[in-house]
């Protein structure tokens, strides 16, 4: 290799290496779009993506969420102050309580800077007008919850900005920080950031959960990064902080050096608002309607990373409370979907909803998304269930039978598919209202009803031979669509489809399909026989059908739906044999059939 070429190669490798190191040093983690800044504090160093500026313009870059749920001051009391060491003001006017100054709008609906400057907020206290500027909410063992948009609109968010109260400028727990103080403070400006970010953020689309979180102490645990109480909640991640928060009042960076007595100090007006995002592990957006801010010694995971001396700020700087002025949000529009249906007592077990068949209340219905998140409800007095505010996507709806009830049918809504008699698969589009996803159950006859209902069953050959009888059976059940074809996963559209199914004999699936159709024709002729157990049937004179567990015919038909879809030839063939034993029987107890075996 020529010396000159070798030198150029070495230089190229060095440049590439430096570029790679630079890329690694500046590479942002997911959701990070601001440079990292390392902060000093008495409890160690920590690093956060930081914008040396504001969170943007209200109304353009973000909107304000509306305070939705909260309880009165829920943090420890210290003398007549609420909080660990107070906020430097007497709370005799209940600045931090939700019911303070009842003539004004609730606090937490406006950024404190705007709140304190609003002349409409002047009220009479002790014979003089004052403007209670520090009208924040005090988050402690209970979360405070804000709503994005209205309850029923399509406005959601996947990114929020939390504005803490700027009263920490005067907070005695931060020595050296405040008006005309030297910058940076002796203990590092990180002490201020620790107070401005002493909380965690969670989101949900369930209004009942949002209210429960506000009313239940320690709903998100205590300490660490908090806990998700159930799968209805999502955790937000801190993506960056804004050194100026709402507005840069003095035109100076809060990181600028300044001597003691500087007026104004670079610190003044700084509130370190923080931005949080709701994302799945793959980076996809999670739209939420309700945003909960929670303290109780919790922080984002970025505060639980050890610094160079092994100190973990999140473990050493534990705060029971946080003071929040407002929550801003980035608006996204999500046309959400809904899904509903009923559970009906199919008294005659014919797999259809007939007139006068009653609903079944109190049945548990579970909806599970493709991501694994699930929601549960129970049917009301009309047997109805409903899931609202669903993201577009794939779902499964699963019914859990009440004790004693057997599955008789399932009717998926338009475009949906029955997986089995207890499960419906649904693919929901934005704005779709999927209705009539119905489950049918029945209670077997109870004493003093006879144990076996008389019936005459015919095999597949007889049903193929007597087409007049076949068509009469269709009329009895309201049409040929009442005969379900396993191979088509739907009701028959014509007699030809029924005949084709009855003729199938070559494969286990074809045989099961044929016996399933024959059993439906038989039970349509003798409806109550579907509840008979196998031992009710005679396969030849005085020879009872024997099947392990002595199942009801209804149970075998339900198993056929599931087994057929499994593509397991052994199970499919075994079930076809069981149904053939019953279909080949010409009589049950208590009846004489015209084609009875001699």
Residue with tokens 């649904």: 426
Structure tokens belonging to residue 92: 């005799």
Please check whether residue 452 lies inside any domain of the structure: no
Q: Quick one: pLDDT at residue 210?
A: 96
Asked if residue 476 and residue 433 are part of one domain, the reply reads: no
Asked if residue 87 and residue 71 are part of one domain, the reply reads: yes
DSSP 552: B
Last residue of a domain, one of 313, 333, 353: 333
Please check whether residue 23 lies inside any domain of the structure: no
Q: Chain-wide mean pLDDT for the chain?
A: 84
Please check whether residue 418 lies inside any domain of the structure: yes
Q: Quick one: pLDDT at residue 215?
A: 93
**Residue 237: helix, strand or coil by DSSP?**
strand
DSSP 113: H
Q: Quick one: pLDDT at residue 79?
A: 46
- Determine how β-strand 128-130 pairs with β-strand 273-277: unpaired
Does the pTM surpass 0.85? The reply is no
Asked if residue 263 and residue 385 are part of one domain, the reply reads: no
Last residue of a domain, one of 298, 333, 368: 333
Residue with tokens 């040929």: 480
Last residue of a domain, one of 411, 442, 473: 442
Q: Quick one: pLDDT at residue 84?
A: 38
Asked if residue 329 and residue 313 are part of one domain, the reply reads: yes
* Residue 394 parent element (H or E): strand 393-400
Asked if residue 125 and residue 269 are part of one domain, the reply reads: yes
Sorted by sequence, the CB contacts under 8 Å of residue 350 that are 6+ apart come out as: 408, 409, 477, 482, 523, 524, 527, 530
Structure tokens belonging to residue 497: 């489809």
Asked if residue 294 and residue 372 are part of one domain, the reply reads: no
Q: Quick one: pLDDT at residue 192?
A: 84
Q: Quick one: pLDDT at residue 425?
A: 96
Nearest-angstrom CA–CA distance, 84 and 525: 77
| CATH number of the domain that residue 386 is part of | 2.60.40.10
Nearest-angstrom CA–CA distance, 154 and 149: 8
Please check whether residue 454 lies inside any domain of the structure: no
Asked if residue 415 and residue 430 are part of one domain, the reply reads: yes
Asked if residue 482 and residue 400 are part of one domain, the reply reads: no
Please check whether residue 598 lies inside any domain of the structure: no
Asked if residue 135 and residue 239 are part of one domain, the reply reads: yes
Please check whether residue 26 lies inside any domain of the structure: no
Count: domains in the chain: 3
Please check whether residue 4 lies inside any domain of the structure: no
Q: Quick one: pLDDT at residue 175?
A: 61
Domain that holds residue 429: 340-442
> Which parts of the chain sit beneath pLDDT 50?
1-30, 78-97, 168-173, 596-598
Q: Quick one: pLDDT at residue 73?
A: 59
Q: Quick one: pLDDT at residue 565?
A: 86
Please check whether residue 112 lies inside any domain of the structure: yes
Asked if residue 345 and residue 321 are part of one domain, the reply reads: no
Asked if residue 324 and residue 345 are part of one domain, the reply reads: no
Could you please report the per-residue DSSP string of 96-146?
TSTTSSTTSPPTTSS-HHHHHH-GGG-EEETTEEE------EEESSS-EEE
Asked if residue 362 and residue 237 are part of one domain, the reply reads: no
Q: Quick one: pLDDT at residue 269?
A: 60
């Amino acid at each position: 290799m020529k010396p000159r070429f070798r030198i150029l190669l070495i230089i190229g490798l060095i440049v590439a290496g430096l570029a790679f190191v630079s890329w690694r040093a500046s590479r942002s983690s997911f959701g990070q779009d601001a440079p990292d800044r390392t902060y000093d504090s008495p409890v160690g160093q920590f690093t956060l993506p930081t914008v040396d500026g504001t969170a943007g313009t209200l109304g353009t870059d973000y909107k304000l969420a509306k305070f939705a749920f909260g309880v009165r001051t829920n943090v420890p009391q210290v003398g007549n102050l609420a909080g660990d060491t107070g906020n430097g003001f007497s709370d005799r006017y209940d600045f931090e309580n939700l019911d303070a100054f009842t003539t004004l709008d609730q606090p937490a609906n406006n950024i404190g800077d705007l709140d304190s400057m609003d002349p409409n907020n002047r009220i009479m206290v002790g014979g003089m007008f004052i403007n209670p500027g520090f009208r924040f909410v005090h988050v402690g063992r209970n979360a405070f919850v804000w709503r994005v948009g209205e309850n029923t609109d399509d406005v959601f968010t996947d990114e929020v900005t939390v504005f803490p109260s700027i009263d920490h400028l005067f907070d005695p727990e931060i020595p050296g920080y405040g008006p005309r103080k030297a910058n940076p403070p002796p203990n590092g400006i990180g002490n201020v950031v620790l107070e401005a970010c002493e909380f965690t953020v969670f989101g949900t689309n369930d209004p009942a959960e949002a209210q429960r979180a506000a009313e239940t102490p320690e709903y998100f645990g205590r300490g660490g990064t908090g806990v998700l109480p159930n799968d209805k909640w999502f955790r937000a991640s801190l993506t960056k902080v804004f050194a100026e928060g709402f507005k840069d009042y003095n035109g100076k960076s809060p990181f600028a050096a300044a001597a003691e007595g500087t007026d104004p100090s670079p610190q003044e007006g700084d509130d370190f608002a923080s931005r949080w995002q709701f994302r799945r592990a793959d980076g996809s957006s999670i739209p939420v309607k309700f945003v909960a801010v929670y303290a109780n010694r919790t922080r984002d995971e970025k505060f639980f990373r050890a610094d160079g001396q092994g100190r973990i700020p999140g473990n050493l700087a534990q705060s029971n409370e946080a003071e929040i002025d407002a929550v801003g949000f980035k608006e996204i529009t999500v046309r959400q979907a809904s899904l509903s249906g009923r559970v009906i007592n199919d008294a005659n077990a014919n797999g259809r909803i007939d007139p006068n068949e009653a609903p079944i209340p109190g049945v548990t219905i579970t909806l599970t998304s493709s991501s694994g998140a699930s929601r549960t409800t129970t049917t009301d007095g009309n047997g109805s269930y409903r899931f609202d505010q669903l993201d577009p996507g794939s779902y499964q709806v699963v019914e859990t039978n009440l004790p004693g009830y057997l599955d008789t049918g399932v009717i998926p809504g338009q475009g949906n598919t029955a997986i089995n008699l207890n499960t419906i698969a649904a693919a929901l589009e934005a704005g779709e209202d999927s209705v009539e996803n119905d489950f049918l159950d029945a209670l077997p006859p109870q004493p003093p009803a006879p144990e076996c209902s008389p019936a005459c069953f015919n095999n597949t050959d007889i049903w193929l031979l007597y087409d007049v009888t076949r068509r009469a059976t269709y009329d009895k059940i309201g049409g040929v669509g009442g005969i379900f074809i396993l191979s088509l996963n739907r009701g028959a559209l014509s007699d030809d489809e029924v005949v084709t199914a009855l003729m199938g004999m070559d494969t286990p699936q074809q045989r099961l399909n044929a016996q399933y159709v024959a059993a439906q024709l038989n039970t349509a002729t003798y409806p109550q026989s579907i509840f008979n157990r196998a031992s009710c049937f005679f396969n030849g004179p005085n020879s009872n059908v024997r099947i392990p567990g002595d199942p009801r015919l209804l149970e075998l038909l339900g198993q056929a739906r599931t087994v057929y879809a499994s593509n397991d030839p052994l199970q499919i063939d075994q079930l076809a044999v069981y149904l053939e034993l019953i279909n080949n029987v010409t009589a049950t107890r208590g009846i004489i059939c015209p084609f009875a075996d001699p």
